[in-house]
Amino acid sequence: MQKKLNKIAKDTNLFLKKFINKQKKSELIIPMKYGLFSGGKKIRSKILIDIGTLFDLNYKSLIMVGSAIECIHAYSLIHDDLPCMDNDSIRRGKASTHIKFGESTAVLAGNSLLTMAFEILSNKDLKIPEKTKIDLINKISESSGHLGIAGGQYLDLSFEHKKVSKSKIIEMEIKKTGKLFSFCCVAPLILKRKNKKEIKKFENIGSDIGLLFQVADDLIDHRGSLFIAGKKTAKDKKRGKATLISLLGYKNTIKYANKLILKINNKLIKYGSKSKNLSETLEYILNRNK
Ligand code: IPE
Ligand code: IPE
Ligand code: MG
Ligand code: MG
Ligand code: MG
């Protein structure tokens, strides 16, 4: 698993470096690269490729689509660490982007990474029909805006120090993290021009995978260490974040996550041994320490 993940990370970084190097230079490139290349598991790209293999898709196109996803993810982390959001000074074992370059530069580098995702998906080296490109851009925008990352981050901050119901916590986690995973799961179907019903099915699988990922992130915050996780831990409780752990307790949250894995795997049964990679990724997501 780790080997596969490393290969995907290497290929994604290679594509992104080439893409950025082809563009004209600017002062924002250095902070953008800092947010993009300073580590990062590339787990979203792994999910995209796992689903892509269910549908026999071309690896190179998947790496390009994955690179766009990773740009949005990197932007969301830069902004997540800002003083007006989670106010975190360490990310991936290094100083957060705003600590290193200043707040306004971090905001602008984040904005530039968000829009770079659209540049990548609309670029002419991605050799897919125009209609497919538009559908991809439409879906990835939806997963990043007020119904996705931005909306979820808004809820996350507004729920601080409040008693929030289980369904509201789940809604927040699916928006801030799940929607981008949803995109990872539907992008292969969009590339294959599958019908709306099939797309909807994978959108739901993606939300559950994203929810699992965020719940696992919350578990790492609860039990993990700065040294391994590469970011400060035990901060959700300190900031009064509404998480399933704060509502149900640590053990019940682990039970909940295991049930989620079962639910997702049940939906994959019909793909037989082809879904082995994905099931392996799900186990990794829950058991990781970083
Ligand atoms: C952390 O994401 C933020 C969440 C959405 C929970 P990752 O754990 O994927 O971060 P990197 O890219 O590997 O550092
Ligand atoms: C971040 O969630 C979700 C994003 C969309 C960036 P967290 O705030 O829990 O992520 P970490 O723990 O800081 O990485
Ligand atoms: Mg946050
Ligand atoms: Mg945070
Ligand atoms: Mg966290």
**Which atom of ligand 1 lies nearest, measured to the CA of 70?**
12
Q: Are 202 and 271 in contact (CB under 8 A)?
A: no
**222 Cα: distance to centroid of ligand 3 (angstroms):** 14
Residue 120, burial from CB neighbour count under 10 angstroms (0-12, 13-18, 19+): buried
**265 Cα: distance to centroid of ligand 2 (angstroms):** 25
Closest to 97 in 3D by CA, of 82, 117, 112: 82
**Which atom of ligand 2 lies nearest, measured to the CA of 236?**
9
- What is the predicted pLDDT for the residue at 1? 87
**Which atom of ligand 1 lies nearest, measured to the CA of 217?**
6
- What is the predicted pLDDT for the residue at 284? 96
The DSSP output letter for 86 is T
**Which atom of ligand 1 lies nearest, measured to the CA of 73?**
12
pLDDT tens per residue, range 217-232: 999 999 999 999 999 9
pLDDT confidence bin for 38, thresholds 50/70/90:
confident
Ligand 2 neighbourhood includes 16 CB (under 6 angstroms): no
Q: Does the pLDDT value for residue 278 go beyond 90?
A: yes
Q: Could you tell me which residues come within 8 angstroms of residue 140 by beta carbon, excluding any fewer than 6 positions away? A: 68, 69, 72, 117, 118, 121, 183, 187
- What is the predicted pLDDT for the residue at 272? 86
Ligand 1 neighbourhood includes 92 CB (under 6 angstroms): yes
DSSP 189-249: HHHTT--HHHHHHHHHHHHHHHHHHHHHHHHHHHH--HHHHSS--SHHHHTT---HHHHH-
The arithmetic mean of pLDDT across residues 11-31, rounded, is 97
**Which atom of ligand 2 lies nearest, measured to the CA of 85?**
8
Q: Does the pLDDT value for residue 31 go beyond 90?
A: yes
pLDDT tens per residue, range 112-134: 999 999 999 999 999 999 999 99
Where is 90: in which H helix or E strand?
strand 90-91
Q: Over pLDDT 90: what percentage of the chain?
A: 94
Pocket mutation for ligand 2, best pick of 71, 77, 146, 173 (most atoms within 8 Å of C-beta):
77
**81 Cα: distance to centroid of ligand 4 (angstroms):** 6
- What is the predicted pLDDT for the residue at 274? 86
Ligand 2 neighbourhood includes 11 CB (under 6 angstroms): no
**170 Cα: distance to centroid of ligand 3 (angstroms):** 14
pLDDT confidence bin for 273, thresholds 50/70/90:
confident
pLDDT tens per residue, range 71-109: 999 999 999 999 999 999 999 999 999 999 999 999 999
pLDDT tens per residue, range 132-167: 999 999 999 999 999 999 999 999 999 999 999 999
Separation CA 153–CA 89 (nearest Å):
18
Ligand 1 neighbourhood includes 177 CB (under 6 angstroms): yes
Q: Does the pLDDT value for residue 215 go beyond 90?
A: yes
The arithmetic mean of pLDDT across residues 200-224, rounded, is 97
pTM over 0.75: yes
Ligand 2 neighbourhood includes 98 CB (under 6 angstroms): no
